Amino acid sequence: MEVLATFYQLDVIGCWTVVKDERDPQTGYRTMLALVYDARMFSQFTEGYYEPGGGNSHLGAQVCLMGKHLVEHVAGRLREDGDGTTE
């Protein structure tokens, strides 16, 4: 799996949204990982609309850089398999 984009919104619980390349063929939604500001208390997988190259303002502002802790957390979550353990 590959990360397509990362977004940030200040005024929501899951302020970071990481969009993955996995796409639901029925809805067209992408798999996303929502995280709180430092990923220590909350992160959940969800689905949502993402248009490559589009505005995607509903996801917040697109960002290119994240802190080391967030990057490590996202990488760990992306490696998890269906039962919550890592490969």
Instruction: For residue range 51-82, list pLDDT tens digits in order.
Output: 988 889 999 999 887 777 677 777 788 777 54
In whole angstroms, what is the distance from residue 37 CA to residue 10 CA? 9
Q: Delimit the domains of the chain by residue range.
A: 3-79
pTM: 0.75
Going through the chain in order, the beta strands assigned E by DSSP cover: 3-8, 16-23, 30-35, 43-48, 61-63
Distant-in-sequence, close-in-space partners of 18: CB < 8 Å, separation ≥ 6: 3, 5, 6, 32, 33, 35, 74
